[in-house]
Amino acid sequence: MHGYVELHGHRGARGLRPENTLPGLAFALEVGVDALEFDVAMSADGHVVLTHDLLVSPVTSADTGMATPGDEMFPYVGKPVMSLTLAQLRTLDVGVRLPQRPDDRFALTQVPLPDTRMPTLGAVLGLIGALGADGVRLHVELKSDPTRPGLSADPRRFTELVVGELDRHDRLSRSALLSFDWRVLEIARPLVQRRYALIERDTMTPDWMNGLRLEDFDGDLAAAAHAMGATTLSPDRELVDPALMEAASRRGLPVVPWTVNDEEEAARLIDAGAAGIVTDYPDRMRRLWKSRGLPLPEPVSPLRPVNA
């Protein structure tokens, strides 16, 4: 029988509410998760903002108007996030999903919240504090693509900005940094206790793995992640097999696969030894947890009680 298996809300609860938004994150807390995962990038003027994409996505963002009259950067959708100021990014409506393909499953299940704006990391940390969600760990994924330096912030400056903001809000010890760009893991090693090595097939290359070559580790992803200072291995669910689980166990690395939205698949991964499950649908996973008698994370009340 498993002890505690963590439930991680992906981009808040992407299947239920708009991703990487304040209302989406608050809703995930209300459902009840152990860890709240969200993505960050850097604006042109050095603000850490929540977004999954390094180019402003037409799926999650819509232009509403110029930040200043005659702004030559307008329209902002499709532009690099780090070429736009916070004022420009804050004009975007990120509360309505605009599917570009007919098979966009999230458009069917995600409740739209029009006129929602792109938040900063500081605003998220303020929300967490206001809700009193002290028991929930924050999983901050730094979006950085070493193969496209023109779209990515300097990894050291970026990592230090994120760590500094978490520290100012006294959240550093209750947070983890995540990245596919393993340069971030190396930089974060002396700065934060929990470091998640994200991996998928497309990033199993020296460019992404901070110069490491998988063949030098006999194909052992866990050994490579361990060498880079990761404290958890977080692979695409399709990479999880008995060999990977065994290798991670040898290195003392918990395995937390993403993104798992099917309850049967989640059950198989838990049986295989997963320490946590990253999901767009924390409500579904709570049903699974309950059916298996697994301890459930406490939901966070949307508002603190007011003393009379």
Query: Has residue 133 been placed in a domain?
Result: yes
Q: Is the pLDDT of residue 305 over 90?
A: no
| pLDDT at residue 306, as a whole number | 55
Query: Has residue 305 been placed in a domain?
Result: no
| pLDDT at residue 307, as a whole number | 57
pLDDT band for position 179 (cuts 50, 70, 90) = very high
Its domain, for residue 124, covers 6-291
Query: Has residue 308 been placed in a domain?
Result: no
Task: Tell which residue, 67, 72, 44, has the closest CA to residue 151.
Answer: 44
Query: Has residue 307 been placed in a domain?
Result: no
Q: Is the pLDDT of residue 13 over 80?
A: yes
* pTM as predicted: 0.97
* Both structure tokens of 131: 């809700």
pLDDT tens per residue across span 103-151: 999 999 999 999 999 999 999 999 999 999 999 999 999 999 999 999 9
Q: What is the mean pLDDT of residues 205-213?
A: 98
Q: Is the pLDDT of residue 1 over 50?
A: no
Per-position DSSP letters for the chain, written without gaps between them? -----EEEETTTTTTTS-TTSHHHHHHHHHH--SEEEEEEEE-TTS-EEE-S-SB--TTT-B----SSTT-TT-S-TTSBGGGS-HHHHTTSB-SS---SSTT-THHHHPPP-TT--PPBHHHHHHHHHHHT-TTSEEEEEE---TT-TTTS--HHHHHHHHHHHHHHTT-GGGEEEEESSHHHHHHHTTT-SEEEEEE-GGG-STTTTTT--GGGGTT-HHHHHHHTT-SEEEEBGGG--HHHHHHHHHHT--B--B----HHHHHHHHHHT-SEEEES-HHHHHHHHHHTTPPPPPPPPSSPPPP-
| pLDDT at residue 308, as a whole number | 46
Q: Is the pLDDT of residue 199 over 70?
A: yes
Query: Has residue 261 been placed in a domain?
Result: yes
8 Å CB contact between 115 and 11:
no
CA–CA dist 239, 203 (Å, integer): 12
Query: Has residue 148 been placed in a domain?
Result: yes
Query: Has residue 154 been placed in a domain?
Result: yes
pLDDT band for position 214 (cuts 50, 70, 90) = very high
Q: What is the mean pLDDT of the chain?
A: 96
CATH number at residue 25: 3.20.20.190
CA–CA dist 196, 253 (Å, integer): 10
- Contacts within 8 Å (CB) and 24+ apart, 146-154: 146/181, 146/183, 146/207, 146/208, 147/207, 147/208, 148/54, 150/80, 151/54, 151/55, 151/80, 151/81, 151/82, 152/54, 152/82, 152/181, 153/41, 153/42, 153/82
Q: Count how many domains the chain has.
A: 1
